[in-house]
Amino acid sequence: MKLTVIGIDIGGQSLKWGLYSAGSDGLCADVGARRRATSVVETGPQSTPNVTFARLYEQIISRTGRLDTSTLLVGVSTPGLIQSGTILASANLPDWHGTHLPSLISQIFGVSADRVAVANDAVCHTTNIACRNPHDRVFCLTIGTGVVGGFAAGSRVLTDAVGCGEIGHLPSDSRGYSGVLDTVSTGFAAWTCPCGSLGCVELVVSGPGLLRLGRYAAVRLNDPAFTAALGMQNSPQQNLSALVERARYGDPIACDVFALAGVVLANAAAPIRSFFNPSLIAVTGGVARSFDLLRPAFERRLGELCFPNNSLCSSAYSHRIAVDPSGLTGVAGAAELAVRQFQAY
Ligand SMILES: [Zn+2]
């Protein structure tokens, strides 16, 4: 039976979707290869799930015409803690708490709720990476509005633990960083995260976090032109682009914002690496496009933290890093998850 699959990736600022087709015996990789369309609907802290999904459905129908719900599957990637399709908590989408997404999508799309697969973004991004790298132990780092981590081994994705992979809400620190931000590098440890904790990774490593750190550093280091440059654009994404551009031109403060973020990320990721010893660290999400700016400090610090004094042990912790800047791993992973769930029945 030919299936039509809608993959939906809910982000903290926008929602992306894609339309796929798959045979019921097809490999999940086929789904991604047959992507036909992707588009975007805005989300954000002011958004509500009913309005967002009504807009999404209108957009899908206007692009594709009415879909046959007897062969339709829907996969949803969403941030936060998810239990049986319900969003228990999401730091960036507070009005979505308590929403049972399969029921809502069933009501609006006219598809049976048991054909709607919902998982958090860590699971969906990891599913896509695992489908493409079935022989690896995968540690997937998704860096966008927030930061999450997912695990897979032999293409089996760890999917059943609520709250699994919330690396963005691990407290971290700047140990191992040294540079022009030395005098400000410890300040973020006192910042409060929307989750209620202090000094969480995503306060400085996410898209909004990098911008927050850039502004903080520019003010503390008395660089008014830099401070102004990071607040003059029309959107947070454009302000982040201004920071990225400055780093690419070699501005020392901008460069070290990324270097410090790389160290903070490595300090949180190193214990996970020692415990799980991934053969592949995959980086996805909106910040993947700028990961080259974090990567040198991230890799250096990881190397300092896993058996640094024993070359035989450190060689056992060999892994490769793959960066996917396509922005589509969540959409494709959600679609693949829906196919996997349907085939398991
Ligand atoms: Zn947090």
> How far is ligand 1, taken at its centre, from the CA of residue 178, in Å?
25
- How many Cβ atoms sit within 10 Å of the Cβ of residue 116? 25
Q: Are residues 195 and 120 in the same domain?
A: no
Residues 124 and 258 in one domain: no
What does the pLDDT read at residue 114? 93
Residues in the 5 Å CB sphere of ion ligand 1: 169, 193, 195, 197, 200
CA of 290 to the centre of ligand 1 (A): 22
Distance 42 CA to ligand 1 centre (A): 23
Tell me, in angstroms, the distance from the centre of ligand 1 to residue 266's CA: 17
Ligand 1 centroid to 146 CA: how many Å? 9
Distance 119 CA to ligand 1 centre (A): 20
Q: Could you tell me the sign of the dihedral formed by the alpha carbons of 78, 17, 208, 152, in that order?
A: positive
Q: What is the pLDDT of residues 145-177, one digit of tens each?
A: 889 899 999 878 886 555 677 889 999 999 999
199 C-alpha to ligand 1 centroid (Å): 7
Does 185 lie in the same domain as 309?
yes
In angstroms, what is the span from residue 277 Cα to ligand 1's centroid?
25
Residue 152 covered by a domain: no
Task: Look at strands 156-157 and 280-284 and give their pairing.
Answer: unpaired
Q: Is residue 239, in this structure, part of any structural domain at all?
A: yes
Please state the domain count of the chain.
2
Is there a domain that residue 149 lies in? Answer: no
What region, left, alpha or beta, does residue 199 occupy, with left being phi > 0 and alpha being psi -120 to 50 degrees?
left
- Establish if 332 belongs to a structural domain: yes
Task: Please indicate, yes or no, whether residues 76 and 180 belong to a single structural domain of this protein.
Answer: no
At 318, give phi and psi (nearest 5°). Answer: -90, 140
Q: Do residues 308 and 177 both lie within one domain?
A: yes
Q: What share of the chain is helix, strand, coil (3-state, %, to 5)?
A: 45, 20, 30
Higher pLDDT, 237 or 108: 108
Q: Is 268 within 8 Å of 212 (Cβ atoms)?
A: no
The chain-wide mean pLDDT, for the chain, equals 86
Ligand 1 centroid from CA 168, angstroms: 6
CA–CA separation, 176 vs 300, rounded Å?
Answer: 9
Span from the CA of 268 to the centroid of ligand 1 (angstroms): 13
Which tokens sit at 13?
Answer: 């600022």
Q: How far is CA 22 from CA 30, 59, 318, in A?
A: 7, 22, 35
**275: Cα within 13 Å, side-chain hemisphere:** 7
Q: How far is the CA of 148 from the centre of ligand 1 (A)?
A: 11
Question: What separation in Å is there between the alpha carbon of 58 and the centre of ligand 1?
Answer: 34
Using CA atoms, how far apart are residues 242 and 248, in angstroms rounded to an integer? 10
Residue 306: what are its φ and ψ, rounded to 5°?
-115, 95
Same domain, 44 and 84: yes
* 157: in domain: no
Please tell me the distance between residue 48's alpha carbon and the centre of ligand 1 in angstroms.
22
> Is the model more confident about 93 or about 174?
174
Residue 77 CA, ligand 1 centroid: distance in Å: 20
User: Per residue in 24-81, pLDDT tens?
Assistant: 554 444 444 444 445 566 666 667 888 889 989 988 888 888 888 898 999 999 887 8
Taking a C-beta distance cutoff of 8 angstroms, is the pair 154, 185 a contact? no
99 and 184 together in one domain: no
241 Cβ contact partners less than 8 Å away, ≥ 6 residues apart: 233
294 and 333: one domain?
no
What's the gap in Å between 194 CA and the centre of ligand 1? 6
How far is Cα 263 from Cα 181, in angstroms, rounded to an integer?
12
Same domain, 113 and 60: yes
Task: State the angle between helix axes of 252-276 and 291-305 in degrees (0 to 180), rounded to the nearest 10.
Answer: 50
Could you tell me the sign of the dihedral formed by the alpha carbons of 32, 33, 36, 39, in that order?
positive
In terms of domains, do 174 and 312 share one?
Answer: yes
Residue 219, amino acid: V
Report d(CA 165, CA 140) in Å as an integer.
9
Please tell me the distance between residue 318's alpha carbon and the centre of ligand 1 in angstroms: 30
Ligand 1 mean position, distance from CA 41 (Å): 26
CA of 15 from ligand 1 middle (Å) equals 22
Q: Are residues 114 and 232 in the same domain?
A: no
Name the pTM for this structure: 0.87
How many angstroms is it from 91 CA to the middle of ligand 1? Answer: 8
91 within a domain of the structure (yes/no): yes
* Residue 88 falls in which region: left (phi positive, over 0), alpha (psi -120 to 50) or beta: alpha
Q: Is residue 158 part of a domain?
A: no
Give me the CATH number covering residue 242: 3.30.420.40
Tens of pLDDT, residues 290-326: 999 999 999 999 989 877 766 666 667 778 999 999 8
Print the domain residue range for 70. Answer: 2-131+327-344
What pLDDT score does 139 carry? 94
Q: Is the CB of residue 336 less than 8 Å from the CB of residue 28?
A: yes
Phi, psi (degrees; rounded to nearest 5) at 152: -150, 150
Distance CA 244, CA 228 (A): 15
- Same domain, residue pair 25 and 123: yes
Report yes or no on 204 lying in a domain: yes
